[in-house]
Structure formats: C-alpha cells, structure tokens
Amino acid sequence: MRDSTQCVLTPSVSQEGFDPLGVAVHRGSTIVFKDAASYAARGERGHEGYSYGLYGTPTTRTLEAKLTALEQGAWTFLAPSGQAANILAILPFLSAGDHVLMVDSVYPPMRDFAETDLRRLGVEVDYVNPLDPQDVAAKIRPTTRMIWCESPGSTTMEVIDLPQIAQIAHAHGALVGLDNTWATPLNYKPLCHGADIVTEALTKFVSGHSDVLMGSITVVDERLIAPIRSQMGRFGIGVSPDDASLVLRGFETLGLRLRHSERVALEFAHRLGDHPLVDRVLHPALETSPGHGIWQRDFLGSSGVFGVVFNQAASAGVATALDAFSLFAIGASWGGTRSLVAPMPVARHRSVTPWTGPDVVLRLSIGLEDEAELWTDIERFLQALEQQQR
C-alpha cells in the first residue's frame, strides 16, 4: 500500500482491556457499511441503530440512554438547546387547523413561538391558568392536539396538577408535554404522572457548568418516537458528540450539585421570606408558593432556583441595587456552579392570569460557592435596597 493511501486508512487497533469509566467522543458524519446489502438495508436499523452521524453516535446514545432511564420513558432525543427540544416536542404533532393549549406561566420564548410560528402555520393557541385544571377542561376542543405545560412555571413557580390535566387531555385525544428544566429528572418524573413527552434544558442543572447548550425530549412510549425522529431528520437537527460528552461529564455530579443547591436555596428562601422588604418568595417547597401541596405530592425534591418579590416601594430599586452583588453574577440562564441573579419582568408574559403587584421578580440560582459568603452577598444587596428607601 502506498503512503498516501496509508495516511487515509484507519488501522484497526485492539480495544481489548481498555475499559475506561468515561464515554468516548465518537465524531463521525459518515458511517461505513460492511457490504452493499447492509448499506441498502440501513433504513431498517431504526432509531436505535447507526446510519448517519446526524442520527446519533455511541456518545449521544449514551446520554440518551441515561435520560431515558431517569425519566422512565421509551426513548430520548437530543436537541441543540432546551428551546429547540421544546419546539421539536410540539411541532411534529400539529397541522393547520389544530389547537394547542399552553400554561400561562410558560417559558416566554415558547409563548413567542406559539404567537409567531404556530399562528403563522394556522394553529390556534389558547393559554390556561396553570393552577386551574377546570380552565383546561373549559378550553379544550376536539381539535386540541397538545397541552404544553411547565411545572413549576417559569419565574412565578406555579406547580400544576399534572395528573388531572393529563386526564382531561387524554379524554380528548390530546398529548401532554412538559418542560421539566427546573426539577430535572431527579426531582420530578412527569412521565409517571401523566405526561406523554418531557423536555429538559440540559443547559441548566444537568450539564451544570454554564458552558454548553443542549436539550432533551423523552417520550413515554414507542408510538411517539417516529414522528419526532423523522421531523428532526428532515430539519437536519442533531447535537455534537463533543457537547454530549460535556453534558455526560456534568451529569455524573448532578445528584450532589442539586442536593447542595437545594439545601442552600431553601435556607435562603426562608431567610428572605422573613425580611421586611420582601413581599413573598416563590419557591415550590414553601407553603405560601402556588401549588405547594401538589409539589409535596408529586415531586421528589426542589431545585436551586427561586424568585423573590419585594414590596412595592423596594421593587423600584431592585435593578440598581443589583450592582451591590459581588459574588452572585448577573446573568440569564442558571444551574451552573456560579450563583446568578436576574431581574425578571412577568406582566408582559401573562395573558389569562394577570400579574398584579411589582413587575420584577428577582431570580436567584444557587451555585457551589461558600454558603456564608453567598449570604453576605445577599445582605449587601438588601442593604443597598434599604438605603434607597431612606
């Protein structure tokens, strides 16, 4: 064999005895077949087999398998972001003339998707009160194909009665999808409470280091696999094995990181609830948070993200007082090792459950810094807020 050929061919080396704990990064667009017949039959390999890099590598399959087991579903798909996962969980099931219900507390880009793209495609959309299954019963139609949920709701943290909503949906032949990003599959298993599809923004707690974007879609049974897989193929959507490898690495410490953030967040939520400038704290594990009883019934724990509503007078100063934070970083997204704060507007993202009171919820995401130093940082912020009151 000539050198130029030798340069191109990959010699086969033994893998015997090489048994690492980590998962290899398998890069590949082309997958070669041992003969013409297996190439011709590649379509028969199905969703589990390998036929082209876009449809999966051993690296992405490993991440999918981990999620499928934790969500207790039938199959998992990976998407380039949490938002992409949400869209791909909905779009394959809709045609012009169909109807979709969404909880009013949905992740705002989903409302934008519904208002912009679903309406343009001739799909009708209504929003429901996340705390009132009767509102779902009243608004569901024979053409309703999907009820899109998020629990707890984005920013405002309403926990929904998923079993009741699923019962109404299934009686009308509609699917139920749920964005489970806040809880992660460790704290909530929506497929065990009536959802047909669950999505995660792996970008947040699961990857856990604020350095990668990814989303997952897990379906409850086989019948939902083909529509999503074929749509993803037509749209040309897959994820990089390097990114999947980052998520797999972060995943290994999810249990520890989440339990730590849960404990510190809950402690801070209680302390903040007692502060004179605070009107209320939005955290599903607090009795005063909407849907707390359902959280207690259905969830396995809480997460490291919660919201604080300050009283009317203090709220006006929240944005400027943010500069008093030195350890908490100011930024969107959450679930990483660094603690984050972000002021979130709510009123503009509600249409059937108007947000009354100050239109800023301070969202805190608790990371892995020293707990006492984080609290000192929060105290600095509270003092800055107090000084503005004088």
Q: Where are the alpha helices (DSSP H) in the chain?
A: 3-8, 36-40, 58-71, 82-90, 108-113, 119-120, 133-139, 162-171, 184-187, 225-235, 241-251, 254-273, 292-298, 312-315, 318-321, 371-389
CA trace torsion 221, 222, 223, 227 (10° rounding): 110
Cα torsion 83, 177, 114, 234 to 10°: value is 60
Three-class DSSP category at 47: coil
Interface pick for ligand PLP out of 91, 201, 277, 282 (rule CB under 6 A): 201
Inter-residue contact 328 to 321 (CB < 8 Å): no
Q: Choose, by CB under 6 A, the member of 50, 74, 81, 186 that binds ligand PLP.
A: 81
Closer to ligand PLP by Cβ: residue 201 or 272: 201
- Of positions 203, 207, 210, 365, contacts ligand PLP by CB under 6 A: 203
Interaction mask 304-343, ligand PLP, x per CB under 6 A: -----------------------------x----------
**Using the rule CB under 6 A, which residue among 82, 177, 284, 291 binds ligand PLP?**
82
User: Two tokens at 167?
Assistant: 């019962």
**Residue 179 in contact with ligand PLP, rule: CB under 6 A:** yes
- What gap in Å lies between CA 50 and CA 165, rounded to an integer? 37
Q: What x/- string results for residues 96 through 115 when contact with ligand PLP is judged by CB under 6 A?
A: -----------x--------
Distance between CA 48 and CA 51 in Å, rounded?
10
What's the min distance (Å) between Cβ of 364 and ligand PLP?
14
Question: Smaller CB distance to ligand PLP: residue 41 or 330?
Answer: 330
HEC string for 171-187: HCCCEEEEECCCCHHHH
Of these, 100, 146, 166, 213, which contacts ligand PLP (CB under 6 A)?
Answer: 213
Residue owning tokens 């000539």: 2
**How many helices (H) does the chain have, and how many strands (E)?**
16, 12
Which range, of 31-39, 75-83, 122-130, 155-163, touches ligand PLP by CB under 6 A?
Answer: 75-83
Give the angle 150-265-157 at the CA atoms, nearest 5°: 25
**Which residue number places its CB atom closest to ligand PLP?**
82
Query: Site map for ligand PLP, 109-148, x if CB under 6 A?
Result: ----------------------------------------
- C-beta of 110: minimal distance to ligand PLP in Å? 7
**In the β-sheet with 340-344, what is the strand arrangement from edge to edge?**
278-282, 305-310, 361-365, 340-344, 329-330
Burial class (CB in 10 A: 0-12, 13-18, 19+), 136: buried
Applying the rule CB under 6 A, the residues between 152 and 171 that interact with ligand PLP are 154
Using CB under 6 A as the binding rule, the residues of this chain from 19 to 48 that contact ligand PLP are none
Smallest distance from ligand PLP to CB 301, Å: 17
Contact window for ligand PLP (CB under 6 A) among 7-15, 32-40, 196-204, 364-372: 196-204
Query: Counting contacts by CB under 6 A, is residue 83 touching ligand PLP?
Result: yes
Q: Name the site residues for ligand PLP (rule: CB under 6 A).
A: 81-83, 86, 107, 150, 154, 179, 181, 201, 203-204, 213, 215, 333
